[in-house]
Structure 1
C-alpha cells in the first residue's frame, strides 16, 4: 500500500473534509479526491461518506485511521528529527487556552529535561478548546490542553486538573453588593451590575450562575475581552464583576485588588484535559511532556 495514499487518507480523516486536507497537504482538492478513490479501489471498501459539509469516515475508515495514524506520525517524527542519536532537541507543539498555558503549563514544561539529558523546543499556539482539538486532530499540534473532552477514538484525553471559579469584583463594587445581601437574596442581588467576560455569551458567568444560584444571569457584558488576565485587570479597575479561576486571581485577592463576593460551600469547578492523538504517546518527547504536566498538576491548587 502506498504510504502517500495513507498519509492523504489520515489527513482527510483528521480534517473532516477534502478541502481542509488539501490545504494541509499543499495539494489540490481533485488530487486528494483522486488519491482517496485510488485507496478505496485498492481496499475494495468505501472509507468516507460524502456529505454536504465535509466527510464522515465509515467503520472501515475509522479502523484504518486508528491503525495507521500512530505509525505515520512516528515516521513523520523520524523525518523531522532525523536518525542521528546525538540529536538533543525535540520540538513539542502545544496548544491550549492562553491564560492556563502561560501561567501553568509553560512554566512546568520549560524546566523539562529528560533522563537522557535531552531538552525540548516548544512551539505554542493559543486558542479555544475547539480550535485546539481541531488543530490536534489535523496534526498541527502534538499535545493540547482543553476544557472540552473529545469524543471518538481519534483523540485520547486524560484529566489534568480542576480549577475553582470565584465570583469577584473591585473593592468599590464589592462594597455595594455586600456578602450578607448576596447570601440573602442570591442572584437578584446582582441584577443590573456590569459584567466583564471573555465572550458575549457569558460562558463563565453562566456556568457559575447555574451551579451556585440555579439560574441564568440576567445581565449582559459591559466589557468583553478574550483573555482572563485582562478580565481580572478590568474587574480590579471597577469595570464590573467577573468569574475567574482562583489560581489566576489568588494574588489579587490577597492584595485586596479584588474581593470574592461569595464563598459557596461547593464552588464551581472546571476540568482541564490533556489530549493527544491516539497512539502518539509512543513518541518519547510527547510521552515525557504528558507525564511531566500530569506530575506538575498534582501540586496545582
Structure 2
C-alpha cells in the first residue's frame, strides 16, 4: 500500500474535509480526491461518506485511521527531525491573542529558546480565537493559544490557565460613584460612566455584567481600541471604566493608577487552551514548547 495515499487518507480523516486536507498537504483538492478514490479502489471499500460540508469516515475508514495514524506520525517525526536533529535549528510557529501571547507566552518561550540543547527559532502571530484555530488547522501554526476549545478530529487541546477579569477605573471615577453605591444599586450605579473596550459589542463588559450582575450593559463604548493594553492605558488616563484581566492591570492596581470598582464573591474567569494538530506533538521542538508552556502556566493561574 502506498504510504503517500495513507498519509493523505489520515489527513482527510483528521481534517474532515478534502479541501482542508489539501491545504495541509500542499495539494489541490482534486488531487486529494483522486488519491482517496485510488485507496478505496485498492481496498475495495468506501472510506468516507461524502456530505454537503466535508466528509464522515465509514466504520472501515475509522478502523484504518486508528491503525495507521500512529505509525505515520512516527515516520513524519523521523522525516522532520532527521538522524541528527541537534545539528539544525527548528522553527516553532505560535499564534494567539496579542496581549496574552505578548505578556505571558512569549517571555516563557524566549527563555526556553536560549537553553542549551533546547533551542529553536520562534515566530509569533496574533489573532482572535477563530483566526488562530483556522490557521492552526491549515498548517500555518504549530501551536495556538485560544479562548475557544477546538472541536473535531484535526486538533487537540489542553486547558492552559484561567484568567480572572476585574472591573477597574481611574480613582476619580470610583470617588464619583461612591463606595456604597455599587453594593446598593448594582449595575445601575455604573450607567453614567464612560466605557473603554476592545470592540463595539463590548465583549468583556458584557461578559462581566452577565456573570456578576445577571444583566446586560445599557451603555455603549466611549473609547474602542482593539488591544487590551491600549484599553488599560486609556483607563489609566481616566477615559472610563473597563473590564481587564487581572494579570494585565496588576501593576497599575498596585501603583494606584487604577482601582477595582467591585470585588464579586465569584470573579468572572476565562479559560485559555493550548491547541495543536493531532500528531504534531511527536515533533521534539513542538513537544518541548507545549510542555514548557504548560509548566509556565502553573504560575499564571
**TM above 0.5, one fold?**
yes
Mapping 1:200-279, distance limit 5 Å:
200-279=200-279
Q: Distance in 2 between matches of 1:51 and 1:221?
A: 43
Mapping 1:44-193, distance limit 5 Å:
44-62=44-62, 64-65=64-65, 67-69=67-69, 71-87=71-87, 89-112=89-112, 117-193=117-193
Contact residue 46 and residue 58 of structure 1 kept, 8 A: yes
Q: Distance in 2 between matches of 1:199 and 1:43?
A: 53
Note closer, same or farther for the CA distance 1:260–1:21 as it changes in structure 2 (3 Å cut).
Answer: same
Note closer, same or farther for the CA distance 1:122–1:208 as it changes in structure 2 (3 Å cut).
Answer: same
Note closer, same or farther for the CA distance 1:248–1:52 as it changes in structure 2 (3 Å cut).
Answer: same
Q: Distance in 1 between matches of 2:58 and 2:198?
A: 38
Q: Distance in 2 between matches of 1:6 and 1:267?
A: 49
Aligned residues: 301
Contact residue 70 and residue 280 of structure 1 kept, 8 A: no
Deviates more, 1:201-210 or 1:100-109: 201-210
Q: Provide the aligned C-alpha RMSD in A.
A: 2.8
Instruction: Measure how far apart 1:15 and its partner are.
Output: 4.5
Q: Distance in 1 between matches of 2:195 and 2:65?
A: 45
Note closer, same or farther for the CA distance 1:10–1:202 as it changes in structure 2 (3 Å cut).
Answer: farther
SS at 1:179 equivalent: coil
Contact residue 15 and residue 153 of structure 2 kept, 8 A: no
Q: Distance in 1 between matches of 2:115 and 2:255?
A: 40
Contiguous gaps of at least 5 residues in structure 2? none
Contact residue 170 and residue 258 of structure 2 kept, 8 A: yes
SS at 2:222 equivalent: strand
SS at 2:34 equivalent: helix
Instruction: Measure how far apart 1:255 and its partner are.
Output: 2.2
Contact residue 212 and residue 264 of structure 1 kept, 8 A: yes
TM-score (norm 1): 0.86
Deviates more, 1:200-209 or 1:271-280: 271-280
Note closer, same or farther for the CA distance 1:232–1:30 as it changes in structure 2 (3 Å cut).
Answer: same
Task: Indicate the residue corresponding to 2:288 in structure 1.
Answer: 288
Note closer, same or farther for the CA distance 1:44–1:194 as it changes in structure 2 (3 Å cut).
Answer: farther
Q: Distance in 2 between matches of 1:207 and 1:106?
A: 27
Q: Distance in 2 between matches of 1:258 and 1:11?
A: 50
